[in-house]
Structure 1
Amino acid sequence: MIEIAAIDNDRMLLEGLAHWLTSLPDVRMTTAATSVDEFLSQTRQARIVLLDLNLENFTDPVANVATLVAAGFTVIVVTVVPDLSYILATTEAGAAAYVPKTASLDVLTEVIRAVARGESPLTTEHAFWLGCDDRPDRPLLTPREREVLVAYGQGMTIDAVGRLLGIAPGTVRTHLERVKQKYAQAGRPIRHRGQYGERVREDGFGRERLGHPPG
């Protein structure tokens, strides 16, 4: 059974979601709150949290995500009105997924199940929002450079990355050097192996598109 919690000001939405989930065999909402503080003050078992992007108490969305992630929760952000700056910042703060409130409950359930498997699923809307990121500190990588960065940043060896992508190890090294140069030019240098993985997480790379197989 996948147990989830929800933080949202809309009590009707919370009650309706909890009722709808009772029709599913594997997902239950066990905790509901209208703020992060209220949620953290409760006895809770769920480790997956649905978090409204813009709560009516005007708390900072980035701080909300960071607080929950630091406390050991996996956060799925839901939103009515997408704010690009907050979407990018909360993704970097550790949000595992984004679901617009215009999406169907079936889509939400698919995201919850993927997150429970340890994935970071990418909805069509989230992919679009991430693609709109034109901040100067985000380097423009080619699709192949991004593939190499993601694979290497997730801990694969150079030889393993080459086998995965069907390219020679020397070509993998060339792509990694180009990635390193581009991040340095953007003011975010990569100084050691672990920072490849940090850049993958910071920039929201390596997320599976819903309905698409890994890779």
Structure 2
Amino acid sequence: MVGTFSVAIVDDHALVGLAIGPLIDAAADLEFVGAVASVAALRSADLHPDLVVLDISLRDGSTPAENVERLREREAAVLFLTSGEDRFLVREALRTDALGVVRKSAPPKAILSAIQRAARGELLVDTEWAVTVDGDPDVEGAALTARERSVLALYASGIGAKQVATQLGISENTVNDHLKRIKLVYQRLGRPAPTKVELYRRGVEDGYLPVPGSQ
């Protein structure tokens, strides 16, 4: 189907697929390709969706990080579904390469909107994510210089290194040097941020970027 994104659901509660599948099917920009109980089952069925809507807590013993890694190997984007599990599980999910988390109890329109945005590759950040991170005593903030904070805030907001350099009145090479240093700092803290999306997350986590919805 031209102009659509294929979506699969991985959840070991069949009712989730029965409830959310029709929402996906009814959307003009989405194609529902099926619901399975595990990532292994998705692989066995040889499904290759653009987006996988993934239950954060599957009963097969797999972890959010393991599941995201396996799905990313298949070049599928991931959006987590949660019923409100403990914050440590949510924290693990938010530290993966998934695009975000949506509650199963959210209104159908909100769930569909989240799926459509994730299918387009948009990062979903919300107040629940911010609260989870803010209440996590194990998250160690990065000690960045004032210049590094400025570079991070501008770069992670979506503009390129050349534009950052122009706004700050420095060279593009200097911007790239700052970015290398910032990524190294986060790597040493055990909070790697190799991509712009992950740098954005770290910026919000450490207060260098505003919490979504706070302005």
Query: TM-score scaled by structure 1?
Result: 0.72
What is the Cα-based RMSD across aligned positions, in Å?
4.0
Q: CA deviation at 1:84?
A: 2.4
2:113 corresponds in structure 1 to: 110
| 1:30-49 alignment runs, 5 A limit | 30-49=33-52
Q: Would you say the 8 A contact 2:99–2:121 is kept in 1? A: no
Over 3 Å counting, the alpha-carbon distance change for 1:196 and 1:81 in structure 2 is closer
Question: For the residues of structure 2 that align with 1:46 and 1:139, how far apart are their CA atoms?
Answer: 36
Q: Would you say the 8 A contact 2:24–2:30 is kept in 1? A: yes
Q: Would you say the 8 A contact 1:7–1:34 is kept in 2? A: yes
| 1:162-177 alignment runs, 5 A limit | 163=166, 167-170=167-170
Question: For the residues of structure 2 that align with 1:98 and 1:41, how far apart are their CA atoms?
Answer: 25
Q: CA deviation at 1:156?
A: 2.2
Question: For the residues of structure 2 that align with 1:52 and 1:17, how far apart are their CA atoms?
Answer: 12
Q: Would you say the 8 A contact 2:142–2:189 is kept in 1? A: no
2:37 alignment partner AA:
T
Q: Would you say the 8 A contact 1:75–1:96 is kept in 2? A: yes
Over residues 67-91 of structure 1, what are the superposed CA-to-partner deviations in whole Å (9 max), with x where a residue is unaligned?
A: 1112211110111123322323333
Question: For the residues of structure 2 that align with 1:120 and 1:58, how far apart are their CA atoms?
Answer: 27
Question: For the residues of structure 1 that align with 2:78 and 2:139, how far apart are their CA atoms?
Answer: 27
Q: Would you say the 8 A contact 1:139–1:183 is kept in 2? A: no
Over residues 52-102 of structure 1, what are the superposed CA-to-partner deviations in whole Å (9 max), with x where a residue is unaligned?
A: 011122222221112111221111011112332232333332111111112
Q: CA deviation at 1:12?
A: 1.4
3-state SS of the aligned residue for 1:56? coil
Verify: 1:201 aligned to 2:188, yes or no. no
Verify: 1:2 aligned to 2:5, yes or no. yes
Aligned residues: 201
Question: For the residues of structure 2 that align with 1:9 and 1:185, how far apart are their CA atoms?
Answer: 35
Q: Would you say the 8 A contact 1:149–1:179 is kept in 2? A: no
Q: CA deviation at 1:139?
A: 1.9
1:135 corresponds in structure 2 to: 138
Q: Would you say the 8 A contact 1:65–1:95 is kept in 2? A: yes
Verify: 1:86 aligned to 2:89, yes or no. yes
Contiguous gaps of at least 5 residues in structure 1: 190-194
Question: For the residues of structure 2 that align with 1:140 and 1:133, how far apart are their CA atoms?
Answer: 18
1:121 corresponds in structure 2 to: 124
Percent identical among aligned pairs is: 22
Contiguous gaps of at least 5 residues in structure 2: none
